[in-house]
């Protein structure tokens, strides 16, 4: 694994970092960085997201990456990992900013994810030299780079005392756009997001909300919903689009037999029209 070392001045894509407070003098990276500046969105949030947080994170990252937006996050468990994976699934490019040497993948559970990021044309970058172990205060420090690389920061789910809020603070200081996904007012993991909205952050309910502000030229006419190859498949797509997620509820509302339902759902998953969230929960791609 080749480790490269550069300064923000050496790459046009990295030059935004020259204007942030405590700019990094050197950056080390594995993989490939864009040679030119491309629109970039940082997606951050809880390390233990709810099913809702997982779904909205995946959807926003997937849709943005599909439009050619670079997705940046911190390779942590939870929202970070989901954002990276969704970008990869969309065939896009994602960059992971880590709080340790790039030769040490932390958490270890994300070693394969880091490899996939690199193999797909992205990069893992750090201001810390190879061999540096992660420390608590390194995570807070790296957040200024996560936001500094981005044109906008999106918070999909965060508690009141989430470390994610430090990324937001850096983003505001750096003059970046901040978008926040509204959450259930009874959920502790949405309390941080809802507090940010009260303070004036921009609410986001779809990727178009973000693109309208940072890249309106990328907006295209809304595509119609995918149609199934059978009435049963079309019915399931319609129900999931209407907001149903639970497999048992979808089955009941569809009025299909168990065998018809299972066959239609399996074909939709094989064709890439729907995606399993786990726990018999489903969503559209």
The CA-atom distances, in angstroms, between 211 and each of 70, 219, 225 are 13, 7, 20
DSSP character for 28?
Answer: E
Q: Selecting from 3.20.20.70, 3.40.50.450, 3.40.30.10, 3.10.20.30, what CATH number does the domain 4-218 have? A: 3.40.50.450
Write down how long the chain is.
285
**What pLDDT sits at residue 226?**
55
**What pLDDT sits at residue 227?**
66
**Structure confidence by residue, pLDDT tens digits, 120-133:** 999 999 999 999 99
pLDDT at 196 over 60: yes
CB 20 within 8 A of CB 2: no
**What pLDDT sits at residue 272?**
82
Q: 103, 101, 94, 31: which is closest to 57 by C-alpha?
A: 94
DSSP character for 206?
Answer: S
Give the mean model confidence (pLDDT) for residues 41-61: 96
Specify which residues 6 forms β-bridges with.
27
**Structure confidence by residue, pLDDT tens digits, 5-50:** 999 988 899 999 999 999 999 999 999 999 889 999 999 999 999 9
Structure token digits, residue 166: 């430090």
DSSP character for 237?
Answer: H
Question: Within 13 Å and on the Cβ side, how many CA atoms surround 258?
Answer: 1
CB 273 within 8 A of CB 265: no
Q: 22, 52, 17, 50: which is closest to 33 by C-alpha?
A: 17
Domain segments of the chain as ranges: 4-218, 231-284
pLDDT at 150 over 90: yes
**What pLDDT sits at residue 232?**
87
Environment class of 9 (CB within 10 Å of its CB; exposed 0-12, middle 13-18, buried 19+): exposed
**Greater pLDDT, 153 or 227:** 153
CB 226 within 8 A of CB 266: no
CB 48 within 8 A of CB 187: no
If one counts every other C-beta atom within 10 angstroms of the C-beta of residue 195, the result is 15
Separation between Cα atoms, residue 105 and residue 141, nearest integer Å: 17
**Greater pLDDT, 30 or 233:** 30
CB 72 within 8 A of CB 40: yes
pLDDT at 225 over 80: no
Predicted TM-score (pTM) of the model is 0.80
Q: At which residue do the structure tokens 């079309």 appear?
A: 234
- Look at 43-47, 59-63, 278-282 and tell me which has the smallest mean pLDDT: 278-282
Name the average pLDDT for the chain: 92
**What pLDDT sits at residue 278?**
85
Return the C-alpha torsion angle 245, 247, 248, 249, nearest 10: 30
**Greater pLDDT, 35 or 188:** 188
Sheet with 94-97, edge to edge strand ranges? 4-6, 27-31, 123-126, 94-97, 70-73, 40-44, 152-155, 177-180, 202-203
We find that the CATH architecture of domain 231-284 is Orthogonal Bundle (1.10)
**What pLDDT sits at residue 284?**
84
């Amino acid at each position: 694994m080749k480790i490269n070392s550069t300064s923000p001045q050496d790459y046009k894509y990295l030059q935004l970092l020259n204007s942030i407070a405590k700019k990094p003098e050197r950056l080390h990276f594995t993989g490939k960085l864009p040679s030119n500046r491309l629109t970039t969105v940082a997606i951050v949030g809880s390390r233990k997201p709810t099913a809702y947080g997982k779904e909205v994170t995946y959807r926003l990252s997937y849709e943005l990456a599909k439009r050619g937006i670079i997705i940046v996050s911190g390779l942590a468990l939870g929202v970070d990992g989901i954002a990276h994976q969704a970008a990869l699934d969309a065939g896009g490019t994602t960059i992971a900013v880590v709080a340790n040497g790039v030769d040490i993948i932390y958490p270890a559970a994300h070693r394969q994810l880091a490899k996939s990021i690199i193999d797909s044309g992205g990069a893992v970058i750090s201001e810390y030299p190879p061999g540096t172990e992660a420390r608590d205060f390194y995570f807070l420090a790296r957040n200024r780079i996560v936001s500094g690389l981005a044109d906008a920061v999106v918070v999909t789910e965060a508690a009141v005392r989430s470390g994610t809020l430090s990324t937001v603070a850096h983003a505001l200081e750096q003059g970046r756009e901040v978008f926040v996904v509204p959450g259930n007012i009874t959920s502790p993991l949405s309390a941080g997001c809802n507090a940010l909205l009260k303070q004036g952050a921009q609410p986001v309910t779809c990727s178009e909300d973000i693109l309208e502000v940072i890249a309106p030229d990328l907006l295209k006419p809304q595509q119609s919903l995918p149609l199934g190859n059978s009435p049963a498949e079309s019915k399931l797509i319609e129900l999931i689009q209407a907001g149903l997620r639970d497999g048992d509820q979808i089955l009941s509302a569809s009025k299909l037999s168990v065998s018809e339902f299972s066959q239609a759902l399996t074909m939709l998953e094989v064709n890439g029209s729907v995606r399993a969230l786990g726990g018999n929960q489903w969503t559209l791609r």
